[in-house]
């Protein structure tokens, strides 16, 4: 076979194989979760803060603030974390709508803002309280400007009495301002990020912290729905496949080519 053609076909075949494995794994796990099979997973104690806030919010009338950060959807560096934050925010909004707890959403990207408006409205409609949806409770604080976004969040902290604030998504150095003002204001904060820069700041200023891949699992931990559970199991299965593939490729790299 032509070496050039071979170099093109191998990556395409690898991607196709990964896609097939992902689809089969997703279907299997969706069926397993639909049959209510028990799912073994480690605990994430930090998420208890949000669950308790959801229970108290209906009684106190204080809003729960959710935000995926200032990351842009479409950017290679921030899309994954921003989408994870949006999914976690959607689950909180859905639970809050059913419980009767108010929700205040904010973001630092126009696309994320539109996504928040859509899922918050859908959450109220599904709960049968569509008339209670207020679009002013979804705020666009900035447009891909981390410091302006952080100042916007601190303004919310100063004006609103919040039951809790969930900050899961794309964050950087600007989290120092958000976390410190939240701590001084007495706002219970749950935060999570994949970047290394804000992680020490999260630990120092927040009541709950999600680190790295934990933000991608938050959606499933916050919901009892089938789809998030299936996605979480699929992610774990694919990660295992990738780890095994890396180990096999590494071992093959140490074997002399004349043995094949």
Query: Among candidates 196, 137, 91, 164, which has minimal Cα distance to 175?
Result: 196
Question: What's the pLDDT score for residue 6?
Answer: 47
Rounded CA gap, 260 and 248, in Å? 15
What is d(CA 90, CA 96) in angstroms, rounded to the nearest whole number? 10
Q: Decide if domain 45-234 falls under CATH 3.40.50.1220.
A: yes
* Residue 155: pLDDT band with limits 50, 70, 90: very high
pLDDT tens-digit series, residues 64-114: 999 999 888 888 778 889 998 998 998 888 888 888 888 999 999 999 999
Among 150, 211, 136, which residue's Cα sits nearest to residue 180?
150
Coil, strand or helix at 143: coil
| Confidence (pLDDT) at 181 | 94
148 contacts: CB under 8 Å, gap ≥ 6: 108, 141, 142
Can you give the pTM of this predicted structure? 0.78
Q: Specify whether the CB–CB gap between 166 and 208 falls below 8 A.
A: no
Sign of CA dihedral 239, 244, 247, 252: negative
What pLDDT, on the 0 to 100 scale, is given for residue 229?
Answer: 67
pLDDT tens-digit map of 4-33: 544 445 555 556 566 665 565 555 545 555
213: tokens are 């891949």
- Give Cα separations from 8 to 12, 242, 246, 250 (angstroms): 7, 20, 20, 21
User: How many Cα atoms are found within 13 Å in the side-chain-facing hemisphere of 97?
Assistant: 22
Q: What is the pLDDT of residues 58-71, one digit of tens each?
A: 888 899 999 999 88
């Amino acid at each position: 076979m032509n070496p050039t053609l071979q170099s093109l076909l191998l990556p395409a075949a690898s991607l196709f194989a990964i896609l097939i494995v992902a689809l089969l794994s997703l279907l299997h796990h969706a069926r397993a979760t639909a049959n209510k099979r028990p799912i073994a997973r480690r605990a994430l104690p930090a998420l208890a803060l949000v669950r308790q806030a959801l229970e108290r919010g209906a009684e106190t009338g204080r809003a729960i603030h959710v935000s995926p950060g200032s990351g842009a959807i479409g950017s290679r560096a921030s899309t994954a974390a921003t989408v994870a934050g949006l999914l976690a925010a959607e689950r909180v909004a859905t639970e809050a709508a059913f419980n009767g707890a108010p929700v205040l959403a904010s973001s630092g990207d126009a696309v994320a803002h539109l996504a928040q408006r859509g899922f918050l409205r859908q959450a109220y409609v599904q709960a049968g309280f569509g008339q209670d949806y207020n679009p002013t409770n979804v705020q666009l604080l900035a447009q891909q400007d981390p410091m302006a976004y952080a100042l916007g969040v601190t303004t919310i902290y100063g004006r609103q009495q919040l039951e809790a604030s969930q900050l899961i998504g794309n964050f950087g150095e600007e989290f120092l301002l958000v976390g410190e003002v939240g701590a001084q204001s007495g706002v219970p904060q749950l935060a999570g990020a994949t970047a290394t820069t804000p992680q020490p700041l999260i630990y120092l200023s927040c009541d709950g912290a999600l680190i790295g891949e934990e933000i991608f699992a938050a959606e499933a931990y916050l919901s009892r729905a089938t789809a998030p559970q299936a996605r979480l199991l699929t992610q774990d299965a694919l990660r295992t496949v990738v780890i095994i593939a890396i180990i096999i490729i590494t071992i093959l790299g140490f074997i002399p080519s004349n043995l094949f």
